[in-house]
Amino acid sequence: MPRAPAKSAPPTAKAAKAAVKPVKSANATPVKPNVRFRMRITTGDTIAIGPGKIQLLEAILETGSLTAGAKKIDMSYRRAWLLINELNSALKKPAVESGKGGEHGGGSVVTDVGCRLIEHYRNIETTAAEACKAEIRALTGLMAAVDSQVAFKPPARRPA
């Protein structure tokens, strides 16, 4: 019967400190941490609303097409279609309506509900970042070799 490996003693504070190597950029200047909120709203095991769906909605709004929107964010058409179908099923009214394809394609339209969904989601991100500013600064202050300024940059808002 094999024996369990012997337990080693926990490292001393000096040894633990020596094992930690600060993360530095190529030119050894402090790096500005980038904080992102990744809110998700689930229904059962399904992510009904999340960052990927919001990003896809914004890309469709910008391009006017599910196919072009998916390409813009490096997502397969099938994955994009599944996400929009899942999103539309979770809402009272659809976030995206698509026309039938044809010689020039059917196109996709982000509805008023979809636009409001983007707006509310991005507002929540901004509000959360503002409300947590002191805690975020304290948390990132514990990081090695970081700039004291914290960057929270929610994605640029798309014109409605």
CATH of the domain at 131: 1.10.10.10
Average pLDDT, the chain: 82
Ordered DSSP codes for 40-81: -EEETTEEEE-HHHHHHHHHHHHHS-HHHHHHHTT--HHHHH
- Indicate whether 21 belongs to any domain: no
Residue 51: domain span: 41-96+103-141
Task: Assign 124 a pLDDT band (cuts: 50, 70, 90).
Answer: very high
Residue 49 is assigned to a structural domain of this protein: yes
In a domain, 76, yes or no: yes
Does residue 63 or residue 152 have the better pLDDT? 63
- pTM score of the predicted model: 0.71
58 within some domain: yes
Q: Tell me whether residue 68 is in a domain.
A: yes
Residue 67 lies in a domain: yes
23 belongs to a structural domain: no
Q: What's the total number of domains in the chain? A: 1
Distance between CA 71 and CA 135 in Å, rounded? 37
pLDDT of residue 12: 55
Query: Would 114 be classed as within a structural domain?
Result: yes
